[in-house]
């Protein structure tokens, strides 16, 4: 991580069937939402085609917004191993897309994100949504996946601030 007066971070909520992204900037310790959204991956396409769709979508978003960093929500619990494996593969595709474009990539656990955003690692989705909207001045709910992605980006900014304070790379 680097010391910088202004940074742009893309947060990612990965998923095989739907995913979200949120891009924020921090300038003089003020957070600004730049772009966010969520996608539903066509259900009718094959697993391989879903991966290509996800990779191309993130490639386009990265080219348009040029973030300095990418923070991906790290999966650590899933209803079954197939879901965990699929999300792990998707996370790898997204990370590769960022890395191949020169972006530093970090993975952050949901508990760490919730704790940073709400003060509790056990927060419920509504609490996270409320705080993200307050922190970014959003009047509308951008959707579950976009909120998770924006929360991931905000958490990264907080971690980056801390590392800059203590001189940790």
CATH number of the structural domain spanning residue 72: 3.30.420.10
Residue range(s) defining the domain that contains residue 114 = 6-166
pLDDT at 51: 97
Using 50 as the pLDDT threshold, list the residues of the chain that sit under it: 1-3
pLDDT at 165: 56
Does residue 1 fall inside a structural domain?
Answer: no
Does residue 96 fall inside a structural domain?
Answer: yes
Does residue 36 fall inside a structural domain?
Answer: yes
Number of domains in the chain: 1
> CA-CA distance, 13 to 129, in Å (whole number)?
14
> CA-CA distance, 148 to 145, in Å (whole number)?
5
Q: At what angle do helices 110-118 and 125-136 cross, to 10 degrees?
A: 60
pLDDT at 169: 61
Does residue 14 fall inside a structural domain?
Answer: yes
Q: Which residues of 46-76 are buried (b: 16+ CB within 10 A; e: fewer)?
A: eeeebbeebbebbeebbeeeebbbbbbbbbe
Structure tokens at 22: 């949120």
Does residue 120 fall inside a structural domain?
Answer: yes
**pTM strictly above 0.85:** yes
How many Å from the N-terminal Cα to the C-terminal Cα in the chain? 5
pLDDT at 82: 87
pLDDT at 11: 98
């Amino acid at each position: 991580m680097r010391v910088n007066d202004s940074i742009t971070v893309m947060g990612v909520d990965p998923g095989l069937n739907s995913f979200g992204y949120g891009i924020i900037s921090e300038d003089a310790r003020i957070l600004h939402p730049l772009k966010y959204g969520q996608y539903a991956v066509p259900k009718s396409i094959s697993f391989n085609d879903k991966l290509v769709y996800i990779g191309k979508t993130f490639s386009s978003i990265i080219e348009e917004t040029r973030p300095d960093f990418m923070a991906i929500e790290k999966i650590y619990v899933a209803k079954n191993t197939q879901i965990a494996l699929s999300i792990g593969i998707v996370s790898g595709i997204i990370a590769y897309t960022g890395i191949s474009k020169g972006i530093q990539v970090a993975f952050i656990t949901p508990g760490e994100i919730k704790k940073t955003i709400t003060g509790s690692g056990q927060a419920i989705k509504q609490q996270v949504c409320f705080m993200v909207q307050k922190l970014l001045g959003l009047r509308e709910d951008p959707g579950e996946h976009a909120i998770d992605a924006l929360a991931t980006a905000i958490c990264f900014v907080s971690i980056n601030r801390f590392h800059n304070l203590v001189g940790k790379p």
